[in-house]
Amino acid sequence: MQGAATKAVLAIARDVPDDRGLAERICRAYVEGLDVDGAALSLLTATDSRLTLHATDPTADVLEELQFTLNEGICIEAATTGRPVFVSDIRTATARWPMFTATLLETTPVRALFALPLQWGTTNLGVLDLYRLEPDGLGDAERMDALAAAEAATLMMLTLRTDSGELVDARGSWLDPMVAGRAEIHQATGMVLAQLGVPADHALARMRAHAFAEQRLLIDVARDVVARRLSFTDEGPR
């Protein structure tokens, strides 16, 4: 059974103009679905090149800026480890992130923080940060909902970043593995699923993740797979 945040993310229409517009809708879906007070989505937070695509409010914006300035905090940890981080009371994390925690407590009313990496395989897109003003953690069902919604959001961001406009299918689908009726993508998806032994949607996602990491279009990656210039293993593309 899908949670409220997952339903809200999956309900996002594919009429967003760009990745900032998509990030805004993803953040809004989380605020509404998980009853958190704010959210921010940043790309490439595990590297020196970082970009906050959207923050729902000034507090969320300060949260991102503090972490990027101090190079420590919940978002940085989620980005570098590839694992979600949940802190129900930031006052218990002073030893974990001393500078970030001290500054956050001095400058904001934030008390609970949750960071969800937007990651597919070994490709890190960025992190979604959530906060609550009260020291109130996420329950088990809320955590499962948050993680499921993050997976959907990751695939949406990969789709938006690696497709050209001509690859949008007639239904405007985000997650359909057979996009746009392109023969090369159909064929490449079949080849990658055979190489990895995974379902078609996962094979397509692996190609999208590689396209994102290499700053290429999905169609170009698919053509390399079909031409056998590129193959995929459990360790990554080669």
Task: Write out 84-121 in H/E/C secondary structure.
Answer: CEEECCHHHHCCCCHHHHHHHHHHCCCCEEEEEEEEEC
Determine the pLDDT at residue 169: 46
Mean pLDDT of 134-145: 95
Tell me: the pLDDT tens digits for 62-95? 999 999 999 999 999 999 899 999 999 999 999 9
84 in the same domain as 148? yes
- Give percent of the chain above pLDDT 90: 58
Q: Which two tokens stand for residue 189?
A: 């998806």
Number of domains composing the chain = 2
Tell me: the pLDDT tens digits for 24-48? 999 999 999 999 999 999 987 666 6
Tell me: the pLDDT tens digits for 169-197? 444 566 554 454 477 888 898 899 899 99
Reply yes or no on whether the pLDDT at 109 is more than 90: yes
13 in the same domain as 42? yes
CA–CA separation, 46 vs 79, rounded Å?
Answer: 5
Q: Which of 198, 188, 194 is nearest to 218 (CA)?
A: 188
CA–CA separation, 142 vs 57, rounded Å?
Answer: 22
Determine the pLDDT at residue 6: 94
Q: What is the pTM of this model?
A: 0.82
184 in the same domain as 140? no
Range of the domain at 184: 165-237
70 in the same domain as 44? yes
153 in the same domain as 182? no
Determine the pLDDT at residue 45: 65
Mean pLDDT of 229-235: 85
221 in the same domain as 158? no
CA–CA separation, 40 vs 60, rounded Å?
Answer: 6
| Band of pLDDT at residue 206, cut at 50, 70 and 90 | confident
198 in the same domain as 82? no
